Structure 1
Amino acid sequence: MSNDFTNYVKILGRGKKGARSLTVTEAEHAMSLMLAGKVAPEQSGAFWMLIRIREETVEETVGFTKATRAYLSKKQPLGIKVDLDWPAYAGKRNELPWFLLAALALSNTGVKIVMHGHTFEGENRWYVEHAISQLGLAVCQSREDVKRALETTNFAYLPLAKVDPMLGGMMNLKYVLGLRSPVNTVVRMMNPFFADHSVHGVFHRGYDQLHLAACEQLGDASVLVFRGGNGEAEVNPERDVTLGKWQHGMASWSDWPKAEKEHKRLKDNLDLSRLTDHWRGDQLDQFGEQAVRQTIASVAGLLYGVASHEDCLVLADDIWAKRDRAYFDSVA
């Protein structure tokens, strides 16, 4: 195992007066050692938890992400251009994953989307992979599957362990450590198929600012980040939302007022038929209508360079109207 990595654990764990955060270069090297399998489980567990206690810095996030992207760039090219990278790692606690319908509606208009995520078994959450499987959509198992799905439907979902087993293993440290680690930030930032645009959902206050600051240092082209429903990239219509955008080398922030004045969540009814009924137009879902509309609007604003909330909603309504209402019938 790596003595270099031992030094990084020492840097992080020297106590209140002696410890410090890692530089970009140090974080990049540390992550590259982990991805190369040169770090013992005990070392990586201590490393991630020491950072978890105080939360990762922008510089550490940049370093971890740079190493991950460099590592993923050595894999076989996908062979098809991806328009939108959509990480989905949080899971929904008290509502269904309505953001899936937003992504599918966008893909119906020709936007090529790769969604990737991870499922922690035994948690009381609706992970998007469960919904995708039960709705009869394909869960890709390889890069070849992703390419075929994009060619046929413009939408592909790939579990993190299939993006890369090492990254999947890092996420699964939660089963041993009992806590999520900064790897959750890395997998949102990594953009594994180098899409033109990326949308990040975060949960904790301040992480939207961290993501945008990291995007600036990484030189990313087009990223949307906001505090979404349970941490997913889904606008909660019952709350005001602040959208952070990094585009054309500039950061911008916009505040959208909540679309629903009353609580319409149906947290005691998590039947997936609500998704399909709403998609087909058989029934207008109380919560889903605005969750889908506002989420499409936020992402469409990124994709098409639209700033105002009103103009984004016009775009969203047009995209939703063009959806293939028989989509779930054809994939089932």
Structure 2
Amino acid sequence: MSYSAILKEIARGVHGARDLSIDEADQLYGAMLDGGVPEMELGAILIALRMKGESADELLGFYQALESRLYSLALPAGGVRPVVIPTYNGARHQPNLVALLALLLVKFGIPVLLHGTLESQGRTTTAYILRELGILPCANLGQANLALAGEGIAFVPTAVLSPGLANLLGLRNRLGVRNTAHTLAKMISPFKGESLRLVSVSHPEYLEKMRDFFETTGLRALLLRGTEGEALANPKRRPELLYCDDGKSQLLFEAEVGPLKSLPNLPESIDAATTAAWIQSVLSGQHPIPLPVINQLACCLYGAGYTTDMNQAKAIVAMETSSLVMA
């Protein structure tokens, strides 16, 4: 593979660059994941793709390469699909409540796999909050399988699932900007399709790109504009919640608009210890769950196959979370 020839095509700017075909993208990203691209060319390719933006075919090809190299986990027993939550950002301004959503799902008997980074980069990451809650990162696939089977929840660093992807993610510190790996990390599942992915985006155009990807592949996902990059409905104002499955999209909740009617009771600080203590108080019924999180929880029950009717999912969650607050 000639990397200089590829750069001549993709590094001509937003308007002059040519997109790669699915096969070309598959071969290129496979080489990148395998560590076969020289360092200088690798940096140039990542920056070129960042400037150009990935086409639909390129995303498909990149995903194919990653999927074929992704390590697998055993599908947990129980008859419901596991929920896969990527967590790569953490909190900078708002509390990171990803762990709250995950533990609420576990209360319903739905297995949850969280995957992401252990590096904080000045933010409060989900890994730190989970540690405060007694949930430690899994060092290998065996530990992850045991945690899922026993506790119903596991946090797995990216390198355990895909060392090559972890290496590409790590280049952010050297290049100063994100790269395609940050998009792909949100799309993976080690359960080979038998799961519900929670996929967040930051910009409206990426929501359309992700919807097109999941409609094309037929994979199952809940799409939303995340909270500071995390796949969590903003507890202050619910975003649009879009469910993709079998090549179709379904709007489960519309985005809230207009002035805020009220503010939810949230942690006083965004640090890991304070956030974890607040999550524990919510789970014990001392504080109400923010309504947007309840809405997302209902979507997850529906997408995980806990129930085949969305209205029933809403009713179940409303009843169970009300009893939790009253307990």
TM-score interval, normalised by the smaller of the two chains: 0.7 to 0.9
CA distance in structure 2 between the aligned counterparts of 1:15 and 1:207, rounded to whole angstroms:
19
Contact 1:29 1:67 in 2 (8 A): yes
Alignment of 1:1-332 (within 5 A): 3-15=1-13, 18-72=16-70, 75=71, 78=74, 80=76, 83-123=82-122, 125-194=123-192, 195-220=194-219, 222-253=220-251, 254-257=253-256, 261-264=261-264, 269-270=269-270, 271-272=274-275, 273-282=277-286, 284=287, 288-303=289-304, 304-307=307-310, 311-320=312-321
CA distance in structure 1 between the aligned counterparts of 2:108 and 2:27, rounded to whole angstroms:
41
Change (3 A) 1:52 1:106: same
CA distance in structure 1 between the aligned counterparts of 2:43 and 2:34, rounded to whole angstroms:
16
The Cα shift of 1:322 comes to: 8.0
Contact 2:235 2:293 in 1 (8 A): no
The Cα shift of 1:223 comes to: 1.2
Query: Bigger shift: 100-109 or 13-22?
Result: 13-22
Q: Secondary structure at the match of 1:93?
A: coil
The Cα shift of 1:59 comes to: 1.7
TM-score norm. by structure 1 comes to: 0.85
The Cα shift of 1:291 comes to: 4.5
- 1:328 alignment counterpart: none
Query: Bigger shift: 269-278 or 251-260?
Result: 251-260
Contact 1:32 1:67 in 2 (8 A): yes
**Deviation digits for residues 220-255 of structure 1 (CA, Å, limit 9, x no counterpart):** 1x2111102112111113324212221233122341
The Cα shift of 1:84 comes to: 1.9
Contact 2:115 2:156 in 1 (8 A): yes
Change (3 A) 1:135 1:12: same
CA distance in structure 1 between the aligned counterparts of 2:182 and 2:13, rounded to whole angstroms:
25
**RMSD value, Cα:** 2.7
Q: Secondary structure at the match of 2:232?
A: coil
Structure 1 consecutive aligned stretches of length 4 or more whose deviation exceeds 6 Å: none
Q: How many residues align?
A: 314
Change (3 A) 1:145 1:177: same
TM-score norm. by structure 2 comes to: 0.86
Contact 2:241 2:296 in 1 (8 A): no
Q: Secondary structure at the match of 1:199?
A: strand
The Cα shift of 1:260 comes to: 5.4
CA distance in structure 2 between the aligned counterparts of 1:201 and 1:306, rounded to whole angstroms:
23
Letter matched to residue 191 of structure 2: F
The Cα shift of 1:15 comes to: 4.8
Change (3 A) 1:265 1:107: closer
CA distance in structure 1 between the aligned counterparts of 2:323 and 2:111, rounded to whole angstroms:
16
Change (3 A) 1:322 1:184: farther
Letter matched to residue 243 of structure 1: L
Letter matched to residue 208 of structure 2: Q
Structure 1 alignment gaps of length 5 or more? 324-332
Change (3 A) 1:191 1:7: farther
The Cα shift of 1:14 comes to: 3.3
Identity percentage over the alignment? Answer: 23
